[in-house]
Structure 1
Amino acid sequence: MTYEFAKVERKGRITIVTLNRPEVMNAMHSPAHFELHRVFDEFANDPEQWIAIVTGAGEKAFSAGNDLKWQAAGGKRGWDKSGFAGLTERFDCDKPIIAAVNGVAMGGGFEIALACDLIIAAENAVFALPEPRVGLAALAGGLHRLPRQIGLKRAMGMILTGRHVSAREGFELGFVNEVVSQGQALAAAERWANLILQNGPMSIRASKQTIHRGLGVSLEQALAEQRDYPAVKALAASEDYIEGPKAFSEKRAPQWKGR
């Protein structure tokens, strides 16, 4: 399928989604949101695609967030049920999604990255939730995800000031998994993706679902309910559940099928 505001490439089991509005630093407007909803629906529903990587076109930006010029010119705002860029309210995708942040990740751009499972950042990446500076608020997940990922006081320090945070500081704060040289974010994200692909895809999906569902309840409840989570039940009923231990006992690499 051809898209106007995104490039989609498939490399084996990996889907690479490039936000493609470089003329506005990959800022998002309503047509892009709806298009990306379809892009990530396609990824989520494709049994042959196991991991997604999100990055930005060009050398300057991952995404500058909401396209304020579009909004100021009277452009209609809005997105589908999956949220900003088709990701920030996508709670039913248990496949891993990695952000390869190759430059500026501001406002909604940072919220896209925070909605991913891993963030790999180039040295020139800059993160911020600067919405208060223009009379807005980071309501596409940033105000909820950042405190959960780095703690309340650290998140408050970023949110209430709207200050810019470097990739290195993002690593120190804990929301960046790895910092790499400029121009290497996508390659590093692919390296992480290939490490994940060595593991059972059903196990990865069960693990992601269990983490997210468990964080919403008490530890006692999470432990009591986890075996009833859909992805955990699917894992236990899968061919991979048999293949993993069998390959280990036979001292060979497992042949994962994702079913």
Structure 2
Amino acid sequence: MIKMSEPQIKVKVHQNVGTVSIHRDEKRNALTRAMVFDLIQAFRDLHGEKKVRAIVLTGGGGAFCSGLCLEEMHEIVQEDDNQDRWHQDTTSLAELLQQMLQFPKPIIAAVNGPAMGFGAGLALASDIVIASPEARFGFPEPKRGIVSGLCTPLLHFRIGGSHTARLLLTGESINADRALQIGLVSEIVPNNNLWARGVDLTKQIAQSAPQAIQLTKKQLNETVGEQLEMHIALGAAASATSRTTDSAKEGLAAFVEKREPEWP
């Protein structure tokens, strides 16, 4: 008998809570191209679940999401003509972020560990972010010769220009306490209570009229954040362009070979 592999994106519905969890523990939940498509499908499936009032997005194991799979990106960067692949990939990533922003129900990111690069972007595209003390956030893309174009507008929208510039230009990672100080997360919760706290927030949300919640979210993300969608699309183009450079080729090779990059 052939043993079926466990799904890397798991969706559960319990009462009025939908849970989407990322499971690729051996790679700290780094997202492959297939997993990105599965996340998009997961939110599509939950969109039609009328009894679901909010979504809790979290990671399995000790990480939330360490970003995109750099080994997979390294394979693509070796191809002679990869512009179309990069365009397709960044378009899919932009679609996922925009889908989350336009999702009619609140999304609560329960960040149980490192959320790096696009993994941090998933938290930024959520409406409420709660974190365990083990959580860390960072945007190390420039250290790999690429840019965090998709996350930049969301980061600026959530925490402002000064903190955004520092995080993006230094590539440093910050702990949960610092993330709380700058407004990246709303509260810190012990890891074993993290999902339960997300459920508590869902219960609070469920006390309000669903249509009112939907319209409030729409106002926040499409009126106050009226240029987010355009800036994410521009960021996708910038990300795609950066992945075609010699710097990206060297940065990703250095990561795979576990050495310091020698920038061209």
TM-score under structure 2 normalisation?
0.75
What residue number does 1:32 align with? 35
Deviation at 1:87, TM superposition (A): 3.2
| Aligned counterpart for 1:56 among listed residues 54, 59, 68 | 59
- Residue deviations 1:77-98, cap 9 Å, x none? 65596636x6312143121011
Name the one with the larger helix percent.
Answer: 2
| Aligned counterpart for 2:12 among listed residues 9, 12, 16 | 9
Does the alignment pair 1:212 with 2:214? no
| Aligned counterpart for 2:96 among listed residues 73, 87, 94 | 87
Read off the aligned partner of 1:215 and give its amino acid letter.
V
Distance 1:204 1:9 in 2: 22
**Secondary structure in structure 2 of the residue aligned to 1:183:** helix
Distance 1:42 1:176 in 2: 27
Specify which structure has the bigger relative contact order, considering alpha-carbon pairs within 8 angstroms and separated by 6 or more residues.
2
Read off the aligned partner of 1:197 and give its amino acid letter.
A
Number of corresponding residues: 214
Provide structure 2 residue ranges, at least 5 long, that are not aligned to the other structure. Answer: 78-84, 228-264
Distance 1:17 1:217, change over 3 A: closer
Provide structure 1 residue ranges, at least 5 long, that are not aligned to the other structure. Answer: 219-259
TM-score under structure 1 normalisation?
0.77
Distance 1:190 1:80, change over 3 A: farther
Q: Which runs of 4+ in 1 moved over 4 A?
A: 75-82
Distance 1:217 1:127, change over 3 A: closer
- Residue deviations 1:55-86, cap 9 Å, x none? 0011x2000001001222349665596636x6
Distance 1:95 1:27, change over 3 A: same
* CA-atom RMSD in angstroms: 2.2
Deviation at 1:135, TM superposition (A): 0.7
Matching of residues 1-259 of structure 1 within 5 Å: 4-58=7-61, 60-74=62-76, 78-79=88-89, 83=93, 87-90=96-99, 91-140=101-150, 142-216=151-225
Distance 2:34 2:17 in 1: 25
Read off the aligned partner of 1:179 and give its amino acid letter.
I
- Residue deviations 1:11-40, cap 9 Å, x none? 111100111111111100111011111110
